[in-house]
Every structure is written in structure tokens, then in C-alpha cells.
Amino acid sequence: MLGKIKELFKKKAPDLSVTNELWELLQGEKYDEVVFGAEKLLNNKSEAIAKDACKLMGMSLFRQAKYQEALPYFQKATEYKPEVNDWLNVITAATLSKNIDAGRSAFEKAVQLQLDTGNKEQPSIPFMRQYYACALRDVGEFDLALEQINELRKIYEQLKITDTTFVYIRGVPFLSHTMDVAVDVFNGLGTSFDAHEWIKNFSSKLDEEGQEYLAEVSAKIHS
């Protein structure tokens, strides 16, 4: 039995070294080399290796702003026991390539996965909402981005306390980071949206620190 266990570890080591090397190349922005190596592993018998190859292909393309080309590889990676980050890759690539329906579907699956696993994976649902809102903002989908901002707003209102440490340890983005996205969304919506009223109503549900911060934000927004 011990001999068989040792043999298993011997077989796994070379596989891991292959993907580790490619991840290092990715960090070094050697995208052509990553693609060349990852393509050979896409049909690997090891699901872990095949999934890594998909992610490496997707990340290499994504980092070159080739979002549409990256999307199929990220989607393929979700077929191998997906984790939240796998869905997040799909969310971002789909949204930035303006495949809004695919992005929304992936977001819903990511949220459900978090709920099924007790919200133990990273990033948390609130952070996913912020990332999703950022992507939607970047492609001009301001109404959809506002939906995510409003969901985050509910969380802050429930917490009431806006101290950075307090919210972070609860898996919630800093209020300032969320509001940076929110202000961009408000500006994108234009005069049809009453940002000052939104902030006023939001502020009334928060602690003094949060109210002071939102007053500063409101003062910087043109009527």
C-alpha cells in the first residue's frame, strides 16, 4: 500500500511542475509562451491539468484585452468542478466582451455556488457584486451596474457601521471603493438619475463616519 501511495505522488509531481512553470510565465507576461505550452495540455487526461490549461489560455488572452477569445476557455474551465473564481473569470470576460447574458448567467451561478458552500470561498458575494458592477460600468451598462450597487447598499445599511476593518472582515468591500464605482455609474446615468437623493437616503441609514464620508461624495457630484 505504501508503495502505491509513493507511486501516485511520483506521477503527480511532473504534472504540477508543468502547470507551475506556465503560471510563472504568465506572471512574467510571456503570453505567447504560455499559449504554446497550454494548448498542448488542453486535452490532458488529468482533469486538473486540463482545467489549468484552460485557465492559462484564458488568462493569457484576457490580459491582452482579448476578452471574447478568452471567454470560451474560461467557460470550459467551469466544466471541471468549478470554483467561485472560475465563474468570476467568466463573468468578467463575458461582460467586458459585451456578452451581457453570459455574464449575468455566470454571476448567478457564482452566487449559487457560494450559497451552496456556505459562502466559504473567495471572493465573497459582496466583493463579486462590486467586481461585476465594475465590469458593467466599463462597458456602459449603467442600469445593470446600479442593480449591483443597490444590492451592496442594502448590505451597508444592514451593517450600519462603515469602519473599514469592520466591513472587510465580514467580506464586504470598503464603502469608499463601492462609492467610487457608484459615482461613475451615477455620471453614466446622467441627469435622469438623482444621485444626491440616492446618497441622502443611503446616508440616513449609516453611522456618523459613513454619513460624513457620503456628504463629501455628494458635494463632489454636480447637480
The per-residue pLDDT for 16 is 57
| Residue 10 pLDDT greater than 50, yes or no | no
159 neighbors 171 (Cβ within 8 angstroms): no
Give every CB contact of residue 172 below 8 A, 6+ residues apart in sequence: 124, 126, 127, 152, 155, 156, 159
Cα(126)–Cα(94) distance, integer angstroms:
19
Which residue type does 94 have?
A
Q: State if pTM tops 0.85.
A: yes
In the predicted model, is pLDDT for residue 122 greater than 80? yes
Lowest average pLDDT, out of 3-12, 67-76, 203-212, goes to: 3-12
pLDDT in tens, 200-223: 999 999 999 999 999 999 998 875
Mean pLDDT for 103-119 is 93
Q: Are 148 and 97 in contact (CB under 8 A)?
A: no
Contact 59, 70 (CB under 8 A): yes
pLDDT for position 7: 44
With bands split at pLDDT 50, 70 and 90, how would you rate the model's confidence at 130?
very high
Angle in degrees, 0-180, between the axes of helices 2-27 and 31-39, rounded to the nearest 10: 150
The CB density around residue 135, as the number of other CB atoms within 10 Å, is: 24
| Letter string b/e over residues 169-205, b meaning 16 or more CB atoms within 10 A of that residue's CB | eebbbebebbbebbbbbbebeeeebebeebbeebbee
CA distance 129 to 177: 12
Residue 198 above 90 pLDDT? yes
